[in-house]
Structure 1
Amino acid sequence: MTAPYVRGRDRLWFARSRRYTIFVLRELTSVFVAWTVAFLLLMIAALTGGGYAGFVALAGQPWMIAVNVVALAATCFHAITFLNLAPKATVVRLDGWRVPAWMIQGGNHSAWLLVSAVVAYVVLRSP
């Protein structure tokens, strides 16, 4: 008796389509989003616990700066691709008229830009 044929798995199945590649990259960037949240929580703990000098020393290490730059790029990619998917998940109707996808995307990106500008103003303003 012979064993049944088992088709081999293609480990790069997502690389065959641009949509699948972007999907997998967006899912992988979730790790960097989680790192960003953990890093911010560590910073808040250092601010409230009195260990801010040690945190600044750690955050100033070249490898930590490199990790955070990569995390920033990955988080931006994650946010942009996530906001671009909103029109597919959200159907907005006004008096029977469906709001076009570009308006939903534009609103999402504008809100993101506005919130980022407010946060940058609060963080970067002179004391």
Structure 2
Amino acid sequence: MTTARPPGHEEARPYVRPRDRWWFARRRSLAVFVLRELTSVLVAWTVAYLLLLLGAVADGTTERFAALAARPWMVALNVLALAATAFHAVTFLNLAPKATVVRLDGWRVPAWMIQGGNHTAWLAVSALLAYLVLRSS
């Protein structure tokens, strides 16, 4: 049996705070965080593209792959993916000192040394790969 409520005495509902769809645009650090997460889509595209290249090499259909890769929209997508992947890599390497604490004989290695080591290793591996690829052509 329900009881009648007097006028003006509705059942209380919990307060639901309104959501701000642009919460990340309020601070630069949050905007960079969201942008970095969005670049993961283009990083995934880069991986898929390289797997397609490996498949074309394995199947002997590199001419078809080269024709696809030469299309203007594919070139534009890959240039965008390269920029996004570079941004993703740089921001990832810059976050390393916050995620990893390195101690040597009780001394904490400064953040700039960890970042510098990461960026130097990235540059060295990139230079080695560029040398190997350009030497063979």
Q: What range describes the TM-score normalised by the shorter chain of this pair? A: over 0.9
Is 1:102 aligned to residue 102 of structure 2?
no
| Number of residue pairs aligned between Structure 1 and Structure 2 | 127
Is 1:8 aligned to residue 25 of structure 2?
no
1:12-62 CA deviation, whole Å, 9 max, x = no partner? 100001111111011000001100000000000000111110000000000
Is 1:87 aligned to residue 93 of structure 2?
no
Letter in 1 for 2:130: A
Gaps of 5+ in 1: none
Is 1:73 aligned to residue 83 of structure 2?
yes
Identity %: 72
Letter in 2 for 1:62: P
Give the corresponding residue for 1:17. 27
Gaps of 5+ in 2: 1-9
Residue 124 of structure 2: which of 100, 114, 122 is its match? 114
Q: Distance in 2 between matches of 1:7 and 1:97?
A: 46
After the TM superposition, list the runs of 4 or more consecutive aligned residues in structure 1 that deviate by more than 6 angstroms: none
| Root mean square deviation of aligned Cα | 1.1
Which of these two proteins has the greater Rg computed from alpha carbons?
A: 2
Q: Distance in 1 between matches of 2:136 and 2:99?
A: 41
Is 1:49 aligned to residue 49 of structure 2?
no
Q: In structure 2, do the counterparts of structure 1 residues 4 and 95 end up closer, same or farther at CA, with 3 Å as the change threshold?
A: closer
